[in-house]
Chains A and B, each alone.
Chain A
Amino acid sequence: DTAVSQTPKYLVTQMGNDKSIKCEQNLGHDTMYWYKQDSKKFLKIMFSYNNKELIINETVPNRFSPKSPDKAHLNLHINSLELGDSAVYFCASSQEGVSAEAFFGQGTRLTVV
């Protein structure tokens, strides 16, 4: 009965590969997000979807492509992985509203070698 779940938890891959991270929420929220946490633990938003529509795209390289097949799922596909993509990626969801609480997944640690 996990609220926000992401898979895989760990991902090790070579430069140039294409990989996907999946995220699902069972909270009935309309809005989902992807955040990136770098090596210094700095968290920054990448994308936000509301009811399957892209709302926020924070100048992320085109190699990153989110896809929301329905409002309970938001997947992240990354093409041509680079060393600098190594980070922890967090999925989150929330109700609409500026004071809404965000619920986070456990994170996916991506290591590009």
Chain B
Amino acid sequence: AQRVTQPEKLLSVFKGAPVELKCNYSYSGSPELFWYVQYSRQRLQLLLRHISRESIKGFTADLNKGETSFHLKKPFAQEEDSAMYYCALSGTSYGKLTFGQGTILTVHP
């Protein structure tokens, strides 16, 4: 069975502070991990995926298979980063996504 856990429902930081959104997963095979983001009044969209190993909008995420984690990090948060963030796992070729509960990030000025 696939399971994704985001332990923080709400996360508040000040502009310029580092931010880390936690994500842990459970999956018996070799998963593909993603972070999706939903900004206010916008549709859910891909932020980054672990296979790409890229930094998007200053965010990075490293897959740690030993700890079964895929935490999202940014060294200096910006106000425009305020959004709902979902960690997601795909373990099948048809791309079915199992989502975590989501974390609402608020960056204060």
Q: A residues near B, CB below 8 A?
A: 4, 31, 33, 35, 40-45, 48, 50, 55-56, 90, 94-107
Beyond contacts A94-B95, A96-B95, A97-B93: 19 other A-B pairs, Cβ-Cβ < 8 A, are: A33-B95, A33-B96, A40-B101, A41-B101, A43-B97, A45-B96, A45-B98, A48-B94, A48-B95, A48-B96, A90-B44, A98-B32, A98-B93, A100-B90, A102-B97, A103-B45, A104-B43, A104-B44, A104-B45
Provided the pairs A33-B96, A43-B86, A45-B98 are in contact, do residues A99 and B43 lie with their beta carbons within 8 angstroms? no
User: Which residues of B from 61 to 109 have beta carbons under 8 Å from A?
Assistant: 84, 86, 90-99, 101-102
B8 smallest CB distance to A (angstroms) = 13
Give Cα distance in the complex from A35 to B92, angstroms: 16
Name the residue among A45, A98, A103, A105 with the largest chain B CB count within 10 angstroms. Answer: A98
For residue A96, which residues in chain B have a CB less than 8 angstroms away from its CB? 93-95
Asked if A102 meets B94 with Cβ closer than 8 Å, knowing A43-B99, A44-B99, the reply is no
Cβ 8 A contact of B43, one of A33, A42, A107: A107
Taking CB atoms, residues of chain A closer than 8 Å to B93 are 96-98
C-alpha gap A103/B46 in the complex (Å): 8
Q: Is the Cβ of B90 less than 8 Å from the Cβ of A99?
A: yes
The listed residue (A98, A106, A107) touching B90 by CB distance below 8 A is A98
A101 to B52, CA, bound (A): 11
Given that A98-B92, A99-B51 are contacting pairs, would A106 and B102 also be in contact in the complex, using a CB cutoff of 8 Å? no
